[in-house]
Amino acid sequence: MALKVVDATELKIGSFVLIDGETYTVRSMDISKTGKHGAHKCRFDAISAMTGKKKMMMCPGTDRFEVPMIDKRKGQILSVVGDNVSLMDLDSFENFELPVPEDLVGQVAAGKNIEYWDMEGVKLIKRLVE
């Protein structure tokens, strides 16, 4: 997939950014003014979209970050086997297996529709679709 590259000052709260090859969501952002002897600095807190880990970063405003292209898709659950579900994409009819997130355990069943995200080749179930 293609990545977009942006300056640190262009990041907004709620946007996604790649840090160490993992997708993070920006939760807070502070940008300091330029001073007499230096450039502006950016400080932001981010939460991993996959694991929920928090990360704080401070960098010059001219640092560049990769922004992943997230493909939000819908799928239908074909079967539930333990902690995994077998899904069929509703557009391409592709079949694959994904683990069930902790907050959806007990709610997934065969025949229900879900929304999943494809983030640079990593697929993740996000929510049930009514």
pLDDT classification of 103: cutoffs 50, 70, 90: confident
pLDDT classification of 2: cutoffs 50, 70, 90: low
Backbone angle region of 49, left / alpha / beta, with phi > 0 → left and psi within -120 to 50 → alpha? alpha
Mean pLDDT of 103-128: 88
Can you give the pLDDT at residue 42? 92
Span 48-97, pLDDT tens digits: 988 889 999 999 988 999 998 888 999 999 999 888 999 999 999 999 99
Span 8-59, pLDDT tens digits: 989 999 999 998 888 899 999 999 888 777 788 999 999 998 888 999 999 9
Nearest residue to 120 via CA among 84, 77, 66, 83: 66
Structural class in CATH, domain 70-129: mainly beta
Q: For domain 4-67, is the CATH number 2.30.30.30?
A: yes
Reported pTM: 0.76
Can you give the pLDDT at residue 93? 92
CA pair distance 89, 98, nearest whole angstrom: 12
Q: Can 4-67 and 70-129 be said to share one CATH topology? A: no
Q: Where are the domains of the chain?
A: 4-67, 70-129
Mean pLDDT of 104-119: 89
Sheet of strand 64-67: strand arrangement: 4-7, 64-67, 16-19, 22-31, 41-48, 54-60
CA pair distance 108, 97, nearest whole angstrom: 13
Tell me the HSE value of 8 on the side-chain side, using a 13 A CA sphere.
Answer: 21
Total count of residues recorded for the chain: 130
